[in-house]
Amino acid sequence: MIYSLCLLGDNMSSDKLRKLLDGELDLSEAANDPILSSLASRIYNVDMDEVKPSSELNASSDAEKSNLTFELHDSSSPDALELKLPDLPPIGVPEKIEETVEAPKILKMSSLLMIIIGPIISICALLNIFGVFGFLKSCESITSNGGFCIEGADRISLLAIGRLNHTEGWIYSGSFGIPTIALILFGVIVMFIGIQLRMFSKN
């Protein structure tokens, strides 16, 4: 047996034979050599027909590497970098149309009236404190209605503004109460709203 192995060792690599005997040789490498394949089949009781030779493995791995190399080279080649995409038709984006909505005339007129009437209301409330509207007082009408004409009562009573021909329609001037303050604030608010509407109508 040893003599036959020595004869075989003259015809094959001693290194591969040593690895085969030590169990260090890959069976795919032994499948390339019919003598080593026969020895491996007898020593390890392996069907070497099912073992793929290392040359086929190397060929498949080389093919995979070549494919990978081709893909990498193809993607980084100057031709790939200089590749131009086809011209696409422009996308029709509608232009923004600025629509100017004109405010109705009634809104413009209302805002103007509020700007004028608001201050007039506040000013009249202030003037009434000092009895400026006392000239509207008629003692004859008051007495004819069974009332009394009181001297110094020249301020219109805002709570009885509809009864100027009666005694309760007039109170003493020089003082003011909550109705007067409310009327002054009301005039200011009306004027402020009119200004806001005026600005809105211009926009």
Of 35, 66, 81, the one marking the end of a domain is 81
Tell me, what's the pLDDT at 67? 45
Q: Is 112 found in the same domain as 77? A: no
Residues 6 or more apart in contact with residue 142 via CB below 8 angstroms? 148, 149, 165, 166, 167, 170
Do 76 and 117 fall within a single domain?
no
Residue 174: per-residue pLDDT: 87
Distance of CA 115 to the CA centre of its chain: 40
Q: What is the pLDDT of residue 183?
A: 95
Residues of the domain holding 56: 8-81
Which tokens in the block code for residue 176? 């003011």
Residues 69 and 116 in one domain: no
The domain boundary residue, chosen from 49, 81, 113: 81
Distance, in Å, from the CA atom of 120 to the CA atom of 110, rounded to the nearest integer, reads 15
The pLDDT value given to residue 43? 75
Residues 53 and 21 in one domain: yes
Is 131 among the domain residues?
yes
Instruction: Tell me, yes or no, whether 2 lies in a domain.
Output: no
Query: What confidence tens digit (pLDDT) does each residue in 137-185 have?
Result: 888 888 888 888 888 889 999 999 888 989 899 999 888 899 999 999 9
52 close to 32: Cβ distance less than 8 angstroms: no
The answer to whether residue 100 sits within a structural domain is: no
Q: Is residue 93 part of a domain?
A: no
In a domain, 41, yes or no: yes
> Cα separation of 105 and 85, whole Å?
57
Could you tell me where the DSSP H helices lie in 130-177? 139-144
Residue 190 falls inside a structural domain: yes
Q: Provide block-wise average pLDDT over 10 residues at a time, the chain (203 residues).
A: 43 65 69 73 70 58 46 49 62 61 77 93 95 90 87 90 90 90 95 90 72
Residue with tokens 């984006």: 93
Instruction: Say how far apart CA 84 and CA 65 lie, in whole Å.
Output: 29
Are 17 and 65 contained in the same domain? yes
Domain-ending residue, one of 66, 81, 96: 81
Q: What is the pTM of this model?
A: 0.46
* Biggest distance spanned by C-alpha atoms of the chain: 163
In a domain, 87, yes or no: no
Examine the domain organization and report whether 109 and 184 are in the same domain: yes
Number of domains comprising the chain? 2
Query: Which structure tokens are listed for 196?
Result: 């806001």
196 shares a domain with 109: yes
Rounded-to-5 percentages of helix, strand, coil across the chain: 65, 0, 35
Note whether 65 and 115 are same-domain residues. Answer: no
> How far is Cα 28 from Cα 58, in angstroms, rounded to an integer?
10
Helical ranges in 23-90 per DSSP H: 27-30, 34-44, 54-76, 78-81
Residue 90 lies in a domain: no
- 174: DSSP letter: S
Same structural domain, 22 and 54: yes
Cα 117 to Cα 123, 131, 179, 194: the distances in Å are 10, 21, 18, 9
Q: Which amino acid is at 64?
A: E
Element (H, E) at 169: none
